[in-house]
């Protein structure tokens, strides 16, 4: 770990109690680890807001029997082929499939792809998780 700076700050008791609960629920060894994660999360959010390069994973669950859905999903992915790193497809049962699509590109483009996929009839659930491409995490 790089050189560590020690900080001191004041916090109201009710807020401290809530912080302690979050630290415990997250299985953090201490408050410092939790606060470092919060700061990193906020930095990543700022990168997304500035439309900087981001990494993302889009997990979708869908009914592949819905008319033309598979073709629409493939077409949307081909439209963004420059951003898609890999796609994993799993058959859950006779009707439902799950795909995990790993992407890298401008944050707005990743969100746009996720929104377009989410809007398709037959997509039962879509969850996007984005992270920094590494700029702010060092």
> Do the domain assignments include residue 138?
no
Judgement on whether residues 104 and 117 belong to the same structural domain of the protein: yes
Arithmetic mean of pLDDT, 129-134: 79
In the prediction, which pLDDT does 88 show? 96
**pLDDT tens digits along 32-54:** 899 888 888 888 777 777 777 88
Same domain? For 42 and 60 the reply is no
Q: For the segment 94-129, what is each residue's pLDDT rounded down to a tens digit?
A: 999 999 999 999 888 999 999 999 999 999 999 999
Q: Give the pLDDT of residue 81.
A: 85
Cβ-proximal residues to 66 (8 Å cutoff; 6+ apart), any chain:
121, 122
Is the pTM above the cut of 0.85? no
Higher pLDDT, 132 or 117: 117
- Strands 96-106 and 123-132, sheet pairing: unpaired
**CA–CA gap between residue 130 and residue 115 (Å, rounded):** 14
In a domain, 41, yes or no: yes
Judge if 123 and 82 occupy the same domain: yes
The residue ranges of DSSP E strands in 9-116, in sequence order, are 53-63, 84-91, 96-106
Q: At what angle do helices 107-118 and 31-49 cross, to 10 degrees?
A: 90
What is the distance between the terminal CA atoms of the chain, rounded to a whole angstrom?
A: 10
* Residues 70 and 96 both lie in one domain: yes
What pLDDT does 43 receive? 82
Helix axis angle, 31-49 to 13-25, nearest 10°: 90
CB 127 within 8 A of CB 59: yes
Query: Is residue 45 domain-resident?
Result: yes
| Domain annotation covers residue 2 | no
Domain total of the chain: 2
Give the tens place of pLDDT for each residue, 86-96: 999 999 999 99
- Report whether 85 contacts 104 (CB < 8 A): yes
The pLDDT of residue 134 is above 70:
no
């Amino acid at each position: 770990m790089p050189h560590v700076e020690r900080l001191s700050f004041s916090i109201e008791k009710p807020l401290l109690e809530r912080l302690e609960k979050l630290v415990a629920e997250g299985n953090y060894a201490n408050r410092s680890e939790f606060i470092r994660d919060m700061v990193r999360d906020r930095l990543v959010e700022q990168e997304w807001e500035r439309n900087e390069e981001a990494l993302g994973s889009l997990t979708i669950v869908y009914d592949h029997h819905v008319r033309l859905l598979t073709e629409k999903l493939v077409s949307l992915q081909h439209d963004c082929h420059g951003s898609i790193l890999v796609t994993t497809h799993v058959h859950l049962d006779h009707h439902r499939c799950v795909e995990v699509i790993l992407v890298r590109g401008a944050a707005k483009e990743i969100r746009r792809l996720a929104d377009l996929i989410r809007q398709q009839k037959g997509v039962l659930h879509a969850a996007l998780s984005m992270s920094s491409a590494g700029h702010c995490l060092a």
